[in-house]
Structure 1
């Protein structure tokens, strides 16, 4: 995506916080619109090191500490990033390496999947028990299962270890990992 944009100021800055800081300052001074996407632990590492007032920047965290930091709630992460980076809100992405689709949250941790991706909840004590769809003006709590129809030639169904809440319109909220679950995610890869 960075190469396809053909934007000379786009880049990958995982281990070069100083370069990212200088690039953000440069772009902010020029009133350029910026989208800063990062895994949660990397954004927190950056925000701990640098405090800024980003007026033209959208921040999107892609979830998880992946064993690299103590787990924080999404609310704690967003509050810290807002305070340290001077943004009004932080957006989120929810997806997995095994899936081709992602769900996005513009605010308040409510995710909206594309129409070809469905979220179902299973009972916390019985993995084979799918919970009923919530009635209007209510929500249901359980463990997140995902059906992603864009996965035509691979597994289209994932049973996660994420606790969540689903709403009647198909949107959902991730409440965190269930206790004693395995660490997961592409950010576990080492270079």
Structure 2
């Protein structure tokens, strides 16, 4: 999709969501009332998903994804009707950067996520596993020894393998097992979740790279409120899927774009969010790399600790 096509579609979606999403329309109207010179689309604060049902649907949604959060926090809910659409968009975005899922053995080490319901990450990885043609693919909760043996065998037989893992579980795994598997793709999907002392992304990736003997740690940038993802093949540089576009805005003025190379707040246009809101102002800090790629630099002060892929830098 060329940039002009993306922008044209985004404008059409804005008009559709303004007409059909009462929460988003109220938000937009409040901006144009106070600042009529501002031009849409306007980016809805991501916190709105905690206290509102954000939807364009005339009928009650059939499904929702829920953020992980921490004990005592208010979780976000993303209400949708078409789960299959989310899965298809996720697969297309992933395969555009990594090739066909059928070629990979997909392993998942996602405690906490797997133990609760309504996780969009678990839904996505489960779908990826069904698209793999390798019978070893699957989730591993407490069967880390079995997963280690599969990784050893995949290394020996040359089976391309992707390991999706939450950060603390990957650290626990490499503390118990050491593996020499340079070809392995380790996809880190989240932070410590209060299970370990917080560390920088560089420290985390150092331990993971050492434990698996790999050159880079891959990462996913995704969240409950988005149906598209961005993927990093290393060094924290994320490439959005074709249905996703990142804008970095000034922390003190959400209407002003931050200069390339400077840290600002990540605003996401997600064309896959057609049923809810495609224009989201996150609480994440990032840097625009000018070529559509971006870096994630942490979170705004006062932002909730969440299950999305953010760490201190």
> What range is the shorter-chain TM-score in?
0.7 to 0.9
Per the TM alignment, residue 51 of structure 1 is displaced from its structure 2 partner at its CA by 1.4
- Report what 2:185 is aligned to: 58
> For the structure 1 residues 177 and 45, does the alpha-carbon distance in structure 2 shift closer, same or farther, using more than 3 Å as the test?
farther
SS at match of 2:139: coil
CA offset at residue 48 of structure 1?
1.8
Deviation of the 1:6 alpha carbon: 4.2
Give yes or no for the alignment of 1:181 onto 2:303: yes
- Provide the residue aligned with 2:280 in structure 1: 158
Say if 1:121 and 1:130, in contact at 8 Å, map to a contact too: no
1:7-34 deviation digits (Å, cap 9, x = unpaired): 2111111332111111111221222221
**Per-residue displacement from partner, 1:73-102 (whole Å, max 9, x unpaired)?**
222111111111111111111011221111
Deviation at 1:143?
1.6
- TM-score, reference length from structure 2: 0.54
Aligned residues: 182
SS in 2 for 1:130: strand
Give 1:145 shift.
Answer: 1.6
> Equivalent residue for 1:111?
238
Q: What's the CA shift for 1:71?
A: 2.4
Deviation at 1:133, TM superposition (A): 5.4
2:189 touches 2:221 (CA, 8 Å); kept in 1?
A: yes
Contact 2:182–2:212 (8 Å) recurs in 1: no
Once residues 51 and 130 of structure 1 are traced to their aligned partners in structure 2, the CA distance between those partners, rounded to angstroms, is 48
Change (3 A) 1:131 1:50: farther
The answer to which of 113-122 and 101-110 deviates more is 113-122
2:292 aligns with 170
Please report how far the alpha carbon of residue 117 of structure 1 lies from its aligned counterpart in structure 2 after TM superposition.
1.1
CA RMSD of aligned residues (A): 2.0
| Whole-angstrom CA distance in 1 between matches of 2:141 and 2:267 | 30
Instruction: Please name the residue that 2:197 is paired with.
Output: 70
Q: For residue 154 of structure 2, give the secondary structure of its aligned residue in structure 1.
A: helix
Structure with the bigger percentage of strand: 1
TM-score (norm 1): 0.85
Report whether the alignment pairs 1:16 with 2:143.
yes
Q: Contact 1:32/1:56 (CA < 8 Å) preserved in 2?
A: no
When structure 1 is superposed on structure 2, of 176-185 and 49-58 the one drifting more is 176-185
Partner residue of 1:143?
265
Gap runs ≥5 in structure 2: 1-127
Higher helix share: 2
Aligned to 1:131, the other structure's residue is in SS state strand
